[in-house]
Structure 1
Amino acid sequence: PLAIQQTISVYLIAYAAMSIVHGPLSDAIGRRSVILGGMLVFTLASVGCALATDLPTLLAFRAVQGLSAGAGQIVGRAAIRDLFHGDDAQRLMSQVAMIFGIAPAIAPLVGGWILGWAEWPVIFWFLTAFSGLLLLATWSWFPETHPPDRRVPLAMRSLVRDYVAIFLNPRFQRLAAASSFNFAGMFLYIASAPVLVMQHLHLGERDFGWLFIPTIGGMVVGAYLSGRAAGRMSGDALTRIGFVVGGIGALIHVAYAALADPFAIPWAVLPLFLTGVGVALIFPILTLAILDMYPRQRGSASSLQAFTSLVVAALVSGAMSPWLSHSTLYLALGSASLTLLGWAFWRWERNVCQRLPACPQETTAVEPADPL
């Protein structure tokens, strides 16, 4: 168990560290090159993990995986905004948010299924094949969305200055916090899955679907509704609905954990469907609001948003989950508190700016700088 936790921690630390580089790098050399490079490195690192014969080697290649894994997610968001605007951007961002939202939920299902009939290296051979296919598809069909005339030179001084300016922007802080804490409310259950499924629900390692299928279903439904609502409902109204739905799910979970004896399926996991719907409704709106603040540095803005979310997720996984997962009630209260905190930051943003799409774009805080 300790070795498994180490491989996860090393991966997440490397992922978070590199997440602040992918975006600015794509602003400087283009989106396509960064995504292809990231996928190639991830594929090779997966081979290294599969062939590793000792823990230090495995940890080293897991770190390389983490360094490259975020390229598609972070740069992909910027690419969407490069190509699409308004309602079209919201529809596509909803679909992408669904994929990236269900990925951490479906991964334990696939991993548990593989471990049911094979040894752990097969998991990494599966990742090798999967990432190799994605690399081939991206090479064949993904166009460059960030032309040379819109690129920003990459330099350490300008990179640090840009990040400081973006991070200190109060509106970015509110939007990023609202998005990160709302997602963390769902991620707390994902991080606590082994304890929740095997200790509290008394199920086996192949039964993680009971926890993750409702979450995945909620993400799919929420993303579909967000895409359908584009052009028919304001971002402000859709975000409000998302927090209401997620809040209802959190309250049901708290009530069930407090009153139910024993804590059992299906009611122990069904509220996660509403949580997933809420997250999928909210995420595209807040992400587009952040990207629209910095048209020339969407990569940097996407990177910093991802880094913020990863830091919050790391705190949830490393601190809150071990502290709360011994009690289903504490776990439900922790998840509800994170959702409430996300709502509080969004409410603050709403008070400052009544309609998210109508907020002024604060692009003057960051301008291209000459390279060193």
Structure 2
Amino acid sequence: MVEKYVSRFILLPSLMLTVLASIGCAVTSNFTLFLVFRSLQALGTAAIPLIAAATITDLFDGEDRGSAMGTYQTLLSIAPAVAPILGGFIGDRYNYEGVFWSLVGTSILLLIINILFFPKDPKKHKTSKRNGLHFYRVMVKDKMGSILLSLSFLNFLIYFSVLVYLPVLLTSHYHLNLKLVGLLYLPMTISLIAGSLLFKYIQKKISLISVFTFTNFLIAFSVIGFGLTHTVSLSLMSLSLFIYGMGIGILTPSYATILTHQFEQNRASAMGVFNFVRYTGMSIGPILSGTLLEVLRGEIIFTMFGVIFGIISIFGYLLVYNTKNIDKNSPTNKPSF
């Protein structure tokens, strides 16, 4: 849809819907209405990340695109880690209504900024005739595309499993109060920022595929480390989460940048699929991990997650290695995207 219509035409109504739905969440005391408004809020906000990524790919090329994508993904990845801390402070003082009124104010501010500054005539780009459902099938059948989507899904499934599991672990196992629980999200938040900033620098020095390969294995080892240490030592657990956050900060923009190169003529649709797969992982993660915790210990679950991520990373490495052998004449030593 973003490829067919002007992004501004989609973005502004989406922000308006977010404002109205957030007001509804703040004022209603009926649970059914609350769920309806939350669904509308999700509908409004869902378009924003896709439009942002599509606009970045329109406005920037090459290394500049990777740098801009790094900045964008930094903010996008930090939000879930910062939200529990900020929401905890706001909710503690102003109850849940305060959280939604703060979202109303933020959404109105964003709406005004985008009305004034969002480009009215974005750079035109050539799009393939293969749009719609046919393109999504093509993307999944593409070897690199399927590997990236699988890793993205699992990465964010693990990420949100950790986010939801941490408060339970820290209160029940370590008997910490809620303020300290919020502060223990900071190592991962800080490392997310650091990882995204590091990506902006290293993507100019090292090929994207090298970054992709190394960081996949870093993620796998850090998740296994979290699984093995989170009930043993707060320090070792925090170190594992710090490394994991660095990996997410580096990988998320690298996945997005590789996909936009791989599907240059359908980059908005590619980002749409990428975001859909990520959000599906975010939704399934807490449900799956919560269900598994009924029958398995946390150590087994997260170690298993890390091992599965490592196995898929090995397939990704073998795919990259074989592609490099085919494409040795590439000046950047990267597969042709």
Match of 1:108 among 84, 91, 114: 84
Structure 2 residue identity aligned to 1:87: E
Listed as ranges, the matches of 1:139-178 within 5 Å are 139-144=115-120, 146-147=122-123, 150=126, 159-178=132-151
Query: CA contact under 8 A between 2:81 and 2:189: conserved in structure 1?
Result: yes
Structure 2 residue identity aligned to 1:343: S
Give the Cα separation in 1 of the matches to 2:190 and 2:126.
39
What is the CA distance between 1:56 and its match in structure 2?
0.3
Q: Deviations over 1:287-334 (max 9, x none)?
A: 111112333322211111111122222221211234238744235314
Structure 1 residue identity aligned to 2:201: R
What is the CA distance between 1:189 and its match in structure 2?
0.5
Q: State the partner residue of 1:306.
A: 275
Match of 1:228 among 201, 206, 220: 201
Q: Deviations over 1:52-81 (max 9, x none)?
A: 121000000000011111222112112111
Matched, 1:340 2:310: yes
Q: State the partner residue of 1:10.
A: none
Partner-residue secondary structure (3-state), 1:207: helix
Give the Cα separation in 2 of the matches to 1:185 and 1:83.
32
Matched, 1:43 2:19: yes
Matched, 1:136 2:109: no
Matched, 1:351 2:321: yes
Q: State the partner residue of 1:56.
A: 32
Q: State the partner residue of 1:292.
A: 261
Structure 2 residue identity aligned to 1:54: N
Check 1:196–1:287 CA distance in 2 against 1; reply closer, same or farther (3 A cut). same
Q: Deviations over 1:188-214 (max 9, x none)?
A: 201323312322232233333333211
Check 1:31–1:208 CA distance in 2 against 1; reply closer, same or farther (3 A cut). farther
Root-mean-square deviation (CA, aligned residues, Å) is: 2.6
Give the Cα separation in 1 of the matches to 2:51 and 2:333.
22
Matched, 1:320 2:289: yes
Structure 2 residue identity aligned to 1:290: L
Q: State the partner residue of 1:5.
A: none
Matched, 1:117 2:90: no
Give the Cα separation in 2 of the matches to 1:106 and 1:248.
24
Give the Cα separation in 1 of the matches to 2:291 and 2:238.
19
Matched, 1:269 2:238: yes
What is the CA distance between 1:341 and its match in structure 2?
4.4
Query: CA contact under 8 A between 1:184 and 1:335: conserved in structure 2?
Result: no
Check 1:349–1:129 CA distance in 2 against 1; reply closer, same or farther (3 A cut). farther
Q: State the partner residue of 1:192.
A: 165
Give the Cα separation in 1 of the matches to 2:65 and 2:266.
17
Identity of aligned residues (%): 22
Partner-residue secondary structure (3-state), 2:237: coil
What is the CA distance between 1:349 and its match in structure 2?
3.2
What is the CA distance between 1:105 and its match in structure 2?
1.0
Give the Cα separation in 2 of the matches to 1:284 and 1:345.
20
Partner-residue secondary structure (3-state), 1:166: helix
Structure 2 residue identity aligned to 1:229: I
Query: CA contact under 8 A between 2:212 and 2:251: conserved in structure 1?
Result: yes
What is the CA distance between 1:125 and its match in structure 2?
0.4
What is the CA distance between 1:147 and its match in structure 2?
4.7
Check 1:46–1:330 CA distance in 2 against 1; reply closer, same or farther (3 A cut). same
Give the Cα separation in 1 of the matches to 2:37 and 2:335.
43
Q: Deviations over 1:1-31 (max 9, x none)?
A: xxxxxxxxxxxxxxxxxxxxxxxx2111122
TM-score scaled by structure 1? 0.80
Structure 1 residue identity aligned to 2:48: G
Check 1:353–1:35 CA distance in 2 against 1; reply closer, same or farther (3 A cut). farther
Q: State the partner residue of 1:30.
A: 6
Query: CA contact under 8 A between 2:222 and 2:241: conserved in structure 1?
Result: yes
| Range that drifts further, 170-179 or 140-149 | 140-149
- Give unmatched runs, 5+ long, in structure 1: 1-24, 362-372
Q: Deviations over 1:256-278 (max 9, x none)?
A: 246x2xx5x34332311100111
Q: State the partner residue of 2:247.
A: 278
TM-score scaled by structure 2? 0.88
Query: CA contact under 8 A between 2:66 and 2:257: conserved in structure 1?
Result: yes
Partner-residue secondary structure (3-state), 1:143: coil
How many residue pairs get aligned? The number is 330
Q: Which has the higher contact order (CA 8 A, sep 6+)?
A: 1
Q: Deviations over 1:326-350 (max 9, x none)?
A: 7442353144235424523422431
Query: CA contact under 8 A between 2:59 and 2:123: conserved in structure 1?
Result: no
Give the Cα separation in 1 of the matches to 2:121 and 2:184.
38
Q: State the partner residue of 1:11.
A: none
